[in-house]
Amino acid sequence: MKKITVRRMAEECGFSVLAGADALDREADRVFCCDLLSFVMGRAPADSAWVTVMGNVNAVAVAVLADTACIVLAENAPLDGEARSRADGQGVPVLGSPHPVFDTGLLIQRLLEG
């Protein structure tokens, strides 16, 4: 499986950039879908595109701990202001998708498969 930049993921999947615009050149090599933060901390692979509906500061902290390439908020889930500030400050790209979690993950997976 190939790696893609978060920037390319956003462009080709039609995702909006909600935060972390300075870190869009980070590469992702897989998808991880989950909303349970404690589960993500222990299981999300580094460099994964983490698809969730959790748009709060705790999600940003978990993304940093798990070293995910980005957070993709599915279903137009909102990113709160504190989370946006933290993501910008810690270089965590946060993207927005209008699609359900599964469909968002599938779009990314298909892009990774080329």
Q: Where are the beta strands (DSSP E) in 1-114?
A: 4-5, 16-19, 27-28, 30-33, 48-52, 70-73, 94-96
91 — phi, psi (to 5°)?
Answer: 70, 40
Cβ atoms < 10 Å from Cβ of 24:
18
The pTM assigned to this predicted structure is 0.97
pLDDT at residue 32 in the model: 98
What gap in Å lies between CA 27 and CA 102, rounded to an integer?
Answer: 21
Query: What mean pLDDT comes out for the span 18-42?
Result: 97
Q: Is the model's pLDDT at 1 over the cut of 80?
A: no
What gap in Å lies between CA 41 and CA 100, rounded to an integer?
Answer: 22
What gap in Å lies between CA 4 and CA 58, rounded to an integer?
Answer: 26
Residue 25's Cβ-count burial label (10 Å; 0-12, 13-18, 19+) is exposed
Query: What mean pLDDT comes out for the span 90-95?
Result: 98
